[in-house]
């Protein structure tokens, strides 16, 4: 799972949340860990090999590396550096469906000591498994952020950044010849994923959107709004549930959210808090467990006054509740949070992640056996309401959010400026179940700056922060 976030921070293993003692599972058991300057990780289809990618050197240049590890004990099976120092860091690795090939997506992370970052050193490569002998390579495209094989192995999808239009391309997996180019996102396409049946291709990028494409034709199917850098995070991670019913995203920025949609119809199922604290900012990546029972988030975030921190959080797909959470960090002074997640395909409770440049394989205390749950149709709003993020955000002159309620009630929606003065009443009236209410904040006559939207019902209260930029 994708790790398109700069390598940063965090501290020793310890619980984040205070669940009741009887209900709190023990943290995962560490099976092995290896230093690898890694930022991305993947399991082979048979679960016997773990691949990682990252940085081979950081002085004076950063260039890429790929490694293979025995999933049982962490023995290094192979190591390769990505050809020359002119090739940037490995941003993602992915096995082909038959496990015989590893693909790597490369792009620079190097910034000069006197300032400025170089938008070059692209690379897209394939390697044999387990020897990591080079198969095919391209260095004539933009830096690559993420890569995904189609389930039948017939195509390779790649997200590109520093492309000025954030394109997504599909390639022939043998020759790496470009087959199709999709319009993509604003400047950066950050992650790509195929649906398990191969019919859909999903991409996310810095325009705040999750886009679904027809994998066979490249035709757009649906656009869903994850959020913005200031509200929810620019989406950098996308994953399908194993049965293909759901698609999830998470982002990089402030007020981080992890969101889960139904693939059929695009209805929002869960809007989950992906922040370590209310004031932290940074990144979150997501992956579904192989049985589909849980969505798992990996965090790398700055907590004001406390440095960079990281962690892992398990949410129930059925209810959206947190069932396990623990802190996970590298040593001082640089720390380093979780930047990538991958689960063994065998539902054997093994999962891997990268933290502070290390590859870590652990065994979760939560059972990963069983099939994908379905969120209850009788109670689709576990908290009694669902309030979307505001979009667009930042905005000018208007932004909109959507409210759903489980029980009929009167709701009042107000806007306040930075010093707490009420500047507008957006809505004051009844809201009924099954009838989502669109709420618009028209701010054409107000000055630029941050505003707080407060939604007060008879059974709940919620807020959303928005920024007006003129």
* Alpha carbon distance 359, 44 (integer Å): 15
> Which pLDDT does position 39 carry in this prediction?
93
> Which pLDDT does position 117 carry in this prediction?
53
* Alpha carbon distance 462, 470 (integer Å): 26
Instruction: Give DSSP secondary structure letters for 411-439.
Output: EEEEEE-TTS-EEEEEEEEEE-TT-PEEE
* Alpha carbon distance 103, 66 (integer Å): 10
Q: Which of 36, 99, 28, 44 is nearest to 65 (CA)?
A: 36
First to last CA, the chain: 37
Q: Are 95 and 121 in contact (CB under 8 A)?
A: no
72 contact partners, CB below 8 Å, separation of at least 6: 31, 48
Q: Which of 176, 170, 112 is nearest to 140 (CA)?
A: 176
204 contact partners, CB below 8 Å, separation of at least 6: 185, 189, 190, 191, 210, 211, 226, 235, 236, 237, 238, 249
Count of other CB atoms within 10 angstroms of residue 115: 6
Using one digit for the tens of pLDDT, what is the confidence trace for 412-441?
A: 999 998 888 899 999 999 998 878 888 999
Strands (DSSP E) along 96-188, which ranges? 101-107, 123-128, 134-138, 144-149, 156-160, 168-171, 178-182
Q: What is the mean pLDDT of the chain?
A: 85
Q: Mean pLDDT across the stretch 396-416?
A: 89
Which stretch of DSSP H or E encloses residue 49?
strand 49-57
Res. 329: pLDDT tops 80: no
Instruction: Give DSSP secondary structure letters for 308-366.
Output: EEEEEEEEETTT--EEEEEE----TTT---EEEEEE-TT-SSEEEEEETTEEEEEE-SS
Res. 335: pLDDT tops 70: no
Banded model confidence at residue 273, pLDDT cuts 50, 70, 90: very high
Q: Mean pLDDT across the stretch 152-177?
A: 90
> Which pLDDT does position 85 carry in this prediction?
56
* Alpha carbon distance 388, 185 (integer Å): 22
Banded model confidence at residue 264, pLDDT cuts 50, 70, 90: confident
Specify the pTM.
Answer: 0.75
Res. 361: pLDDT tops 80: yes
Q: Mean pLDDT across the stretch 363-387?
A: 68
Q: Mean pLDDT across the stretch 135-156?
A: 93
Which of left, alpha, beta for 28 (phi over 0: left; psi -120 to 50: alpha)? beta
Res. 318: pLDDT tops 80: yes
> Which pLDDT does position 240 carry in this prediction?
96
* Alpha carbon distance 43, 48 (integer Å): 8
Q: Are 105 and 121 in contact (CB under 8 A)?
A: no
Angle subtended at Cα 344 by Cα 100 and Cα 362, rounded to the nearest 5 degrees: 130
Using one digit for the tens of pLDDT, what is the confidence trace for 181-230?
A: 998 788 889 999 999 989 999 999 999 999 999 999 999 999 999 999 99
């Amino acid at each position: 799972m994708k790790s398109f976030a700069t390598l940063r921070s965090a501290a020793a293993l310890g619980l984040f949340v205070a669940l009741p003692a009887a209900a709190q599972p023990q943290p995962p058991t560490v099976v092995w860990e290896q230093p690898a300057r890694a930022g991305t990780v993947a399991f082979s289809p048979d679960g016997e090999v773990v691949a990682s990618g990252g940085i081979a050197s950081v002085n004076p240049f950063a260039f890429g590396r790929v490694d293979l590890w025995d999933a049982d004990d962490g023995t290094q099976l192979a190591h390769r550096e990505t050809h020359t120092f002119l090739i940037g860091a490995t941003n993602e690795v992915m096995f082909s469906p038959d496990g015989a090939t590893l693909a790597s997506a490369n792009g620079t992370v190097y910034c000069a000591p006197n300032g400025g970052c170089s938008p070059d050193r692209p690379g897209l490569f394939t390697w044999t498994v387990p020897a990591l002998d080079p198969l095919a390579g391209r260095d004539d495209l933009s830096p690559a952020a993420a890569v995904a094989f189609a389930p039948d192995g017939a195509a390779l999808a790649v997200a590109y950044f520093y492309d000025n239009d954030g394109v997504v391309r599909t390639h022939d997996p043998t020759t790496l010849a470009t087959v199709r180019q999709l319009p993509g996102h604003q400047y950066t396409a950050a992650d790509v994923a195929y649906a398990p049946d191969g019919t859909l291709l999903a991409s996310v990028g810095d325009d705040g959107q999750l886009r679904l494409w027809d994998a066979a034709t490249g035709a757009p199917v649906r656009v869903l709004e994850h959020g913005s850098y200031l509200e929810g995070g620019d989406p950098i991670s996308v994953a399908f549930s194993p049965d293909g019913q759901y698609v999830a995203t998470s982002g990089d920025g402030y007020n981080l959210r992890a969101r889960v949609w139904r693939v059929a119809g695009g209805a929002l199922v869960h809007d989950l808090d992906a922040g370590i604290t209310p004031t932290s900012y940074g990144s979150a990546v997501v992956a579904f467990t192989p049985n589909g029972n849980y969505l798992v988030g990996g965090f790398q975030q700055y907590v004001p006054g406390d440095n960079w921190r990281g962690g892992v959080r398990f949410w129930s797909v059925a209810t959206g509740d947190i069932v396990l959470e623990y802190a996970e960090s590298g040593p001082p002074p640089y720390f380093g949070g979780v930047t990538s997640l991958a689960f063994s395909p065998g539902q054997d409770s093994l999962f891997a992640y990268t933290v502070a440049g290390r590859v870590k394989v652990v065994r979760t205390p939560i059972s990963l056996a069983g099939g994908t749950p379905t969120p209850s149709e009788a109670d689709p709003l576990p908290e009694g309401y669902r309030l979307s993020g505001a979009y667009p955000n930042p905005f000018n002159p208007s932004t909109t959010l959507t409210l759903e309620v489980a029980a009929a009630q009167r709701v009042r929606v107000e806007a306040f400026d930075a010093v707490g003065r009420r500047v507008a009443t957006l809505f004051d009236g009844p809201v009924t179940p099954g009838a989502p209410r669109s709420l618009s904040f028209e701010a054409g006559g107000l000055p630029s700056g941050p505003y707080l939207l407060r939604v007060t019902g008879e059974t709940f209260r919620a807020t959303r922060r928005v920024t007006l930029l003129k």
